[in-house]
Chains A and B, each alone.
Chain A
Amino acid sequence: MRAFNYSRADSPAAAAQAALAQGTRFIAGGTNLLDLMKLGIETPQQLIDINHLGLDQTEATPEGGLRIGALVRNTDLAADPRVRKDYALLSRALLAGASGQLRNMATTAGNLLQRTRCPYFYDTNQACNKRTPGSGCAAMGGVTRQLGIIGVSDACIATHPSDMAIALRALDAQIETLNPDGNTRRIAMADFHSLPGSTPHIETALTPGELITGVTLPAPIGGTHIYHKVRDRSSYAFALVSVGLILQKDGSGRVAVGGIAPKPWRVEAAETLLPQGAKAVSARLLDGATPTPDNRFKVTLVERTLASVLAQARDEA
């Protein structure tokens, strides 16, 4: 960890303005950023602590939805009765992530902004286009069992590790931000994370200094909510594949998949095939997938996990 300056912002506007300077990072829970700083992967010169900005409330919106403050901790969000009742997918996804201690610290915005867990990204001896643009990708042709099968590029095959983001994508959440110039905007979850293309170091739609202030959920859509995270051990591991499903009584629904792509993977056109079953949905969802020999099993696993959650949803309905 290199020496850095630390300051506390006293308002969201001041935080966004301060963050315009190069080498600046916001810090909230720090559960990912501090690890990356220790390893020399992130080397900010300035940390702006945003923990005291009052962005830690969850409130009802006039549209009947919820507005989740950027700093609401994962533990609190998962336990919120409104979330548990109307957005169970979000609660379930959150609780499938990390550990109790980490969820106590991790924030809503920070969770969205966590970086890939690709082991080659984490080892600074190895070439990584995400860490050092243009340096190449040591992962390709290496150990790729955990890595992405769709949405990836010739420059990067890393996945986004968030469970929470899968639920937010299925729930059509919107990300609220504040820019240094004082303007606010809303970014749809679908547009928030970027595909790597030739610029895998650009991971979100955020512009320099832009601060996430909250996440908005539309009014509840009902249905049965299931989140199934498949991993190599029962807890405290990143997903091989995770499936978030919201199934309505009429057989329609939504599906978002984690563990396979650089962003939460949802294909609305695939959802129209839900009445035909997991195979059809999965085939459309993974159309164009480019798995490696190591992670080809994820194609089957997505299909089978989807079949599993569909069966479970029908049982629970």
Chain B
Amino acid sequence: MKFDTPATTNPIDRLKVIGQPTDRIEGPLKTCGQAPYAYEQHEAAQHQAYGFMVGSAIAKGRITRMDLDQARAAPGVLAIVTAANAGKLGKGKYNAAHLLAGPEVQHYHQAVALVVAETFEQARAAAQLVHVEYSVDKGRFDLAAVRDQGVEPKDELPDVRHGDFDTAFAAAAVQFDQTYSTPDQSHAMMEPHATLAAWQGDHLTLWTSNQMIAWSVGDIAATLGLPKDKVRLISPYIGGGFGGKLFIRADAILAALGARLASRPVKVALARPQMANNTTHRPATLQRIRLGATTDGKLTAIAHEGWSGNLAEGKVELAAQPSQLLYAGENRLVSMRLAPLDLPEGNAMRAPGEAPGLMVLEIAMDEMAEKLKLDPIQFRILNDTQVDPVKTERPFSRRRLIECLQTGAEHFGWDKRNATPGTRREGRWLIGMGVAAAIRNNLLVKSGAKVRLERDGKITVETDMTDIGTGSYTIIAQTAAEMMGVELADVTVHLGDSNFPVSSGSGGQFGANCSTAGVYAACMKLREAVTKKLGMTEGEAVFAEGHVQLGSRQVPLRNAAQNGAIEAEDSIEFADLAKQYQQSTFGAHFVEVAVDAFTGEVRVRRMLAVCSAGRILNPKTARSQVIGAMTMGVGAALMEELAVDKRLGFFVNHDLAGYEVPVHADIPHQEVIFLDETDPISSPMKAKGVGELGICGVSAAVANAIYNATGARVREYPITLDKILDSLPPMI
């Protein structure tokens, strides 16, 4: 189905099932341990052996010698994979570094070997007996030191120069110029990267944990030199991804190689301390913001310039991107520079670009508002735009940022905020409020599904869409139930198998809207097949309550399948509505913090997000996405940082004791308000995404609240107490 004109009234609009706060349909399986994750596919293959990865001890250089004798002789060892016996390996389209090093080493903890043994403990013990000697090359590990070597990422974000920034900035009555930094961050998802691999002849099956099935089939085929049709990926349950599982990683390739060498199915999970350096992370950025405005607060000049680093073939972090669209202003410069670094590969993490970009831009807006003596909400409202500020002929499909800000202000009690920092105190605590705007673009990706009316009248959906903890199973079942007029319990959903039609997958907050739109398309086709079978082709039949009705004639749906199941497959394909309209989601985040006046410890006391994101397909799962993202935003604001050893070139705090993410005690009551709306430009579902919108701007709202509480304006994330101490009141 081609989606090329805005949606009109369709069966989804009935909202009998869609739009309801339904519990997760796979929830009981997960809470009862009946949902097998990749490492728990005990029944999938017989005689599974265990692989344990050995990671490089250096960041850059060459392996000069490997001594495997001791490891080979260790109890239970079946095989040891290294570059020497892996055969020729290609590289996936979505990988910057090779997934198995040798002889060249590209980053710390890059895999150098996989030890396969009868038990996990044997494999791990033997892995510690693999002796590797290296010659070390000098590497580049400090973004600030290489920033001037950055080049324009022409394929990803060529410089945006609109109007004449330099002249307008120079002429602006009020000017603002500051530079900020955001650190490397780790996805730190609960389930580590894990894969079980089994060969049947030259056919490879991988049970893995992966967000993007079709991409990954292609990359496994490319890496192992196999035709795509010899590779099957199965990934029904995923314990969190956040972008860290968009791509195949070492676990998948090493499991496949280990299984081939050992002639046994082999499973591999990365150990937690290996994840930060072996896999991808959100890269650190440096960002400079310059704003020029009239004395009454109209922005006339906006420059957002950023720098990030990566390995050769790695991508830039598009941190400056949100400054293209968020605020009005006739003169604009938006640019990123990509500098060479020899740290592990930087790549997508929840709201890539927008998350670190808004961490910075939305502090700058707070600083500029203060300079203009304007309320920060009023300042943002003054600079709202209903059209793409660079291509002014393109309107936003829906943009209700102002309503988000105003609704939030009223609900949160913004009028109680004292604009003078450090003026509200409760005992030992300094209290402050902060706000930030959020924008995250609505990406549209082709998505397919197969739906089947079974002989008993029930519906089965199959698509390679993934559920990374987001609720895909549930909203897909809701969509099919709505479309076919059956109960939610009458729909069975199968996901995450490369034998199923290719979907959007889970990423960029496009999964919910696109994958359900794909199911919508397949259901429209199935409805056609059903009405044809029932001889109801004149006019538009209504599918409701297990029946199909046309005029006065009403037939049970299952009658159509009495002689055999009926199947339909289709995809949603998005035409050029995204060119005609700028499609984005918007939000406003409100945060109240308390800061210990003695020690600088920060406690977030209240949080509110107001989201404008099209139709909310399931308010319960959507709310879970937003509060999870808000939590991640608190982590980014206050504690998350992969600490770089700039001499040795690795992330030092590479476990969950060292890389701190918020605990329950850090997260207060969180409120989420979804503005009631639809966006018919987006898809037949009239939905967009919220999973990434929820993190956008949160950290800046925390930072702004800390400023309001203490007067400490911290421009280097995370805002740990050592950066606040000197701004605190003198001790009693």
- The answer to whether A232 touches B125 (Cβ under 8 A) is no
Q: State in angstroms the CA–CA spacing of A297 and B652 once bound together.
A: 20
- The answer to whether B599 touches A301 (Cβ under 8 A) is yes
**In the complex with contacts A142-B648, A145-B643, A308-B596, A234-B603 CB distance below 8 A:** yes
- The answer to whether B663 touches A234 (Cβ under 8 A) is yes
Complex interface residues of chain A between 3 and 52 (CB less than 8 A to chain B): 3, 38-40
**A125 CB to nearest chain B CB (Å):** 4
Q: State in angstroms the CA–CA spacing of A308 and B654 once bound together.
A: 33
Q: State in angstroms the CA–CA spacing of A279 and B732 once bound together.
A: 11
Contacting residues, chain B, for A232 (C-beta < 8 A): 638-639, 660, 720-721
B406: CB under 8 A from chain A?
A: no
B65: CB under 8 A from chain A?
A: no
Contacting residues, chain A, for B75 (C-beta < 8 A): 3
**B184 CB to nearest chain A CB (Å):** 12
**B633 CB to nearest chain A CB (Å):** 14
Contacting residues, chain A, for B665 (C-beta < 8 A): 233-235
One of A174-182, A185-193, A236-244 at the interface? A236-244
A249: CB under 8 A from chain B?
A: no
Contacting residues, chain A, for B731 (C-beta < 8 A): 278-279, 303-304, 307
Cross-interface CB contact of B652 among A39, A143, A238, cutoff 8 Å: A143
**In the complex with contacts A123-B273, A233-B663, A311-B732 CB distance below 8 A:** yes
Complex interface residues of chain B between 682 and 732 (CB less than 8 A to chain A): 720-722, 725-726, 728, 731-732
- The answer to whether A138 touches B658 (Cβ under 8 A) is no
Cross-interface CB contact of A308 among B125, B599, B653, cutoff 8 Å: B599
**In the complex with contacts A1-B124, A38-B124, A145-B643, A304-B598 CB distance below 8 A:** yes
* Chain B, Cβ-Cβ closest to A295: B722
Q: State in angstroms the CA–CA spacing of A240 and B728 once bound together.
A: 18
**A317 CB to nearest chain B CB (Å):** 16
**In the complex with contacts A119-B658, A122-B273, A304-B731, A297-B599 CB distance below 8 A:** no
* Chain A, Cβ-Cβ closest to B271: A38
B657: CB under 8 A from chain A?
A: yes
**In the complex with contacts A126-B648, A238-B657, A301-B722 CB distance below 8 A:** yes
Cross-interface CB contact of A230 among B647, B721, B728, cutoff 8 Å: B721
B161: CB under 8 A from chain A?
A: no
Q: Write the B627-664 contact mask toward A (1 if CB under 8 angstroms, else 0).
A: 00000000000110001110110001111011010111
- The answer to whether A304 touches B660 (Cβ under 8 A) is no
Q: State in angstroms the CA–CA spacing of A233 and B643 once bound together.
A: 16
**In the complex with contacts A279-B731, A300-B725, A304-B731, A235-B638 CB distance below 8 A:** no
Number of interface residues of B (CB under 8 A): 42
**A86 CB to nearest chain B CB (Å):** 27
**A251 CB to nearest chain B CB (Å):** 15
Cross-interface CB contact of A2 among B125, B603, B643, B644, cutoff 8 Å: B125
**A188 CB to nearest chain B CB (Å):** 30
A305: CB under 8 A from chain B?
A: yes
Contacting residues, chain A, for B647 (C-beta < 8 A): 141-142
A84: CB under 8 A from chain B?
A: no
Cross-interface CB contact of B721 among A228, A240, A278, cutoff 8 Å: A240
Contacting residues, chain B, for A1 (C-beta < 8 A): 121, 124-125
Contacting residues, chain A, for B655 (C-beta < 8 A): 122
B57: CB under 8 A from chain A?
A: yes
**In the complex with contacts A126-B648, A145-B643, A233-B662, A119-B653 CB distance below 8 A:** yes
Highest count of chain A CB atoms <10 Å: which of B58, B662, B722: B722
* Chain B, Cβ-Cβ closest to A312: B428
**B517 CB to nearest chain A CB (Å):** 40
B601: CB under 8 A from chain A?
A: yes
Complex interface residues of chain B between 34 and 83 (CB less than 8 A to chain A): 57-58, 75
Q: State in angstroms the CA–CA spacing of A241 and B312 once bound together.
A: 41
Q: Write the A220-256 contact mask toward B (1 if CB under 8 angstroms, else 0).
A: 0000000010101111111010000000000000000
Contacting residues, chain B, for A233 (C-beta < 8 A): 638-639, 660, 662-663, 665-666
- The answer to whether B725 touches A297 (Cβ under 8 A) is yes
Q: State in angstroms the CA–CA spacing of A228 and B728 once bound together.
A: 18
Q: State in angstroms the CA–CA spacing of A110 and B644 once bound together.
A: 32
Contacting residues, chain B, for A40 (C-beta < 8 A): 128
Contacting residues, chain B, for A123 (C-beta < 8 A): 273, 652, 654
Highest count of chain B CB atoms <10 Å: which of A117, A120, A238, A311: A311
Contacting residues, chain B, for A305 (C-beta < 8 A): 598-599
- The answer to whether A3 touches B125 (Cβ under 8 A) is yes
Contacting residues, chain A, for B726 (C-beta < 8 A): 300
- The answer to whether B660 touches A138 (Cβ under 8 A) is no
Q: Write the A97-141 contact mask toward B (1 if CB under 8 angstroms, else 0).
A: 000000000000000000001011011111000000000001001
- The answer to whether B643 touches A297 (Cβ under 8 A) is no
Contacting residues, chain B, for A39 (C-beta < 8 A): 273
**B378 CB to nearest chain A CB (Å):** 34
Cross-interface CB contact of A234 among B121, B645, B666, cutoff 8 Å: B666
Contacting residues, chain B, for A125 (C-beta < 8 A): 57-58
**A316 CB to nearest chain B CB (Å):** 13
**In the complex with contacts A3-B125, A38-B124, A142-B652, A308-B657 CB distance below 8 A:** no
Cross-interface CB contact of B725 among A238, A301, A312, cutoff 8 Å: A301
Contacting residues, chain A, for B732 (C-beta < 8 A): 307, 311
- The answer to whether A235 touches B663 (Cβ under 8 A) is yes
Contacting residues, chain B, for A143 (C-beta < 8 A): 643-645, 652-653
Cross-interface CB contact of B722 among A124, A297, A307, cutoff 8 Å: A297
* Chain B, Cβ-Cβ closest to A43: B128
Q: State in angstroms the CA–CA spacing of A311 and B57 once bound together.
A: 48
Highest count of chain A CB atoms <10 Å: which of B121, B652, B663: B652
Q: State in angstroms the CA–CA spacing of A235 and B664 once bound together.
A: 8
**B111 CB to nearest chain A CB (Å):** 14
Contacting residues, chain B, for A240 (C-beta < 8 A): 721-722
**A285 CB to nearest chain B CB (Å):** 15
**B401 CB to nearest chain A CB (Å):** 32
Highest count of chain B CB atoms <10 Å: which of A1, A40, A124, A232: A232
Q: Write the A276-311 contact mask toward B (1 if CB under 8 angstroms, else 0).
A: 001100000000000000000100110111011001
* Chain A, Cβ-Cβ closest to B720: A232
Complex interface residues of chain A between 137 and 155 (CB less than 8 A to chain B): 138, 141-143, 145
* Chain A, Cβ-Cβ closest to B604: A234
**B325 CB to nearest chain A CB (Å):** 34
Contacting residues, chain B, for A228 (C-beta < 8 A): 599
**B269 CB to nearest chain A CB (Å):** 13
**B638 CB to nearest chain A CB (Å):** 7
- The answer to whether B648 touches A138 (Cβ under 8 A) is yes
Contacting residues, chain B, for A126 (C-beta < 8 A): 648
* Chain A, Cβ-Cβ closest to B658: A119
Contacting residues, chain B, for A117 (C-beta < 8 A): 657-658
Q: State in angstroms the CA–CA spacing of A269 and B224 once bound together.
A: 68
Contacting residues, chain B, for A3 (C-beta < 8 A): 75, 125
Q: State in angstroms the CA–CA spacing of A120 and B666 once bound together.
A: 27
**In the complex with contacts A40-B128, A279-B731, A237-B660 CB distance below 8 A:** yes
Contacting residues, chain A, for B652 (C-beta < 8 A): 119-120, 123, 142-143
Contacting residues, chain B, for A278 (C-beta < 8 A): 731
Q: State in angstroms the CA–CA spacing of A1 and B129 once bound together.
A: 11
- The answer to whether B639 touches A304 (Cβ under 8 A) is no
Q: State in angstroms the CA–CA spacing of A124 and B662 once bound together.
A: 27
Q: State in angstroms the CA–CA spacing of A142 and B647 once bound together.
A: 7
- The answer to whether A236 touches B428 (Cβ under 8 A) is no
* Chain B, Cβ-Cβ closest to A230: B599
Q: State in angstroms the CA–CA spacing of A122 and B657 once bound together.
A: 11
Q: Write the B573-617 contact mask toward A (1 if CB under 8 angstroms, else 0).
A: 000000000000000000000001011110100000000000000
Q: What is the interface of chain A, defined by CB distance below 8 A to chain B?
A: 1-3, 38-40, 117, 119-120, 122-126, 138, 141-143, 145, 228, 230, 232-238, 240, 278-279, 297, 300-301, 303-305, 307-308, 311-312
Supply 18 A–B pairs (Cβ within 8 Å), ascending by A.
Answer: A2-B125, A119-B652, A119-B654, A122-B273, A124-B128, A125-B57, A142-B652, A228-B599, A232-B639, A233-B639, A233-B663, A234-B666, A300-B726, A301-B722, A304-B599, A304-B728, A308-B596, A308-B598
